[in-house]
Homo-oligomer: A and B are copies of this chain.
Amino acid sequence: MGQIKNTRILDVLKGSPVDRTPVWIMRQAGRYLPEYKKTRKKAGSFINLCKSPDLASEVTLQPIERFNLDAAIIFSDILTIPDAMGLELKFKDNHGPYFDNPLDDISNVQNLNDNDIDTKLNYVSEAIIETKKKLNNEIPLIGFSGSPWTLSTYMIEGSATKEFRKVRSKIYNDKKMLQTLNQKLVNAISNYLIMQVKAGANILMIFDSWGGLLNTENYINFSLDPMKKIIEKLRKNELTKKIPVILFTKGGGNWLKQITDSGCDAIGLDWTVELSAARKTVGENICLQGNLDPCALHGTKESIKNAASKVMDSYGFGHKHIFNLGHGIDQYVDPDNLEFLINHVKEYSKRYHQN
């Protein structure tokens, strides 16, 4: 593989100077794009789209062709792992993913198969290889996985429920089940991420969508520690030991200090935390990613500009910021608004990279 041409995000992750703040958008390949909807239709179903390397690669590149972003992120779903472990992943239209047979007790967990994740998820590998070819080393490609806790919530609840009561109660009435599940998931996720790097991913991101449901002790034990173990496994592997890892706990604003100590290279922040406050908490050695309120994209051009400028002003001078939303872009956003945002970030952020 040759050298990546646009190294802004890789530079920022190392703390090297850049000319402007790099930018990519969570869920940048998605339903707000008409071209995505076309490919999705061609695939027949969301799950087919994930499992067809050529189509997954096609949608991965759509936002890159449109917006000139600083990174691509491979198109996939965080629930491919539970699917590969034996829980059949299904999707209801407008209701998100679900499993018909969620995990009830430790025997269900013991029946899960965390071996041969590479083989079963080979379609992700192929999608990455194909995407890398087409990217032609212009920009880096991000690989990703859901966090063990986040995968546990779906695997135990069956879907994203309102209060996540079943999985949260397991902490108090069946800790053993969760711990056993965590072990399997740490194993599977680590192998999955290593596989993605083998296929060509340049950066890894762990999405902890539901860590924010926990209290501090439970967050550390059931969400952060397993993520830490994954990072340790990556660091011990020759291939992945230097791959930058971005860790994003939605609702994790109270635990930024602890997240910093996990060994990750960057912390993803949702929009409820101010970058300036986050920087004070985490010190100077770690990169921050985020954190525009995704709803700002439903505003007027003027308000998008204001809101995005405030994010950059809050960060201020320095080279350890990757601009992003505080959560995934939603399907109702006008792509023109996103283009306007990206251009504004590129232009406005220059002032903070003069030194």
Contacts and interface: CB of A to CB of B under 8 A. Distances in A.
Interface of A: 163, 165, 168-169, 171-173, 212-219, 251, 253-254, 271-274, 277, 293, 295-296, 298-300, 303-304, 307, 310, 326, 330, 332
A240 to B, nearest CB: 32
B251 A295 contact: no
Nearest to A271: B215
Given A272-B212, A272-B251, A295-B165, A300 B218 contact: no
A172 B297 CA distance: 8
Interface of A (DSSP majority class): helix
A163 B215 CA distance: 22
A272 B303 contact: no
Nearest to A212: B272
B277 A330 contact: no
Contacts of A218: 293
Contacts of A293: 168, 172, 214-215, 218
A173 B272 contact: no
A163 B212 contact: no
Contacts of A171: 295, 299
A204 to B, nearest CB: 26
B172 A296 contact: yes
B251 A307 contact: no
A330 B172 contact: no
Contacts of A169: 295, 298-299
Given A173-B299, A214-B293, A254-B254, 10 more contacts: A165-B295, A169-B299, A171-B295, A172-B293, A173-B298, A215-B271, A253-B253, A253-B254, A254-B272, A254-B273
A277 B256 CA distance: 13
Q: Which are the 7 A-B pairs with shortest beta-carbon distances?
A: A172-B299, A169-B298, A168-B295, A172-B303, A215-B271, A169-B295, A173-B299
A213 B326 CA distance: 11
A274 B216 contact: yes
A307 B171 CA distance: 11
Contacts of A300: 172-173
A217 B299 contact: no
A68 B67 CA distance: 63
A211 to B, nearest CB: 10
Contact of A214 (B172, B272, B304): B272
12 contacts: A165-B330, A165-B332, A169-B299, A172-B295, A172-B303, A173-B299, A215-B271, A215-B326, A216-B272, A217-B310, A253-B253, A253-B254
Nearest to A304: B172
Contacts of A299: 169, 171-173
A296 B215 CA distance: 11
A310 B273 CA distance: 26
Contacts of A253: 253-254
A271 B272 CA distance: 17
A294 B86 CA distance: 32
A342 B215 CA distance: 20
Contacts of A326: 215
A251 B214 CA distance: 11
Given A251-B251, A303-B172, A298 B165 contact: yes
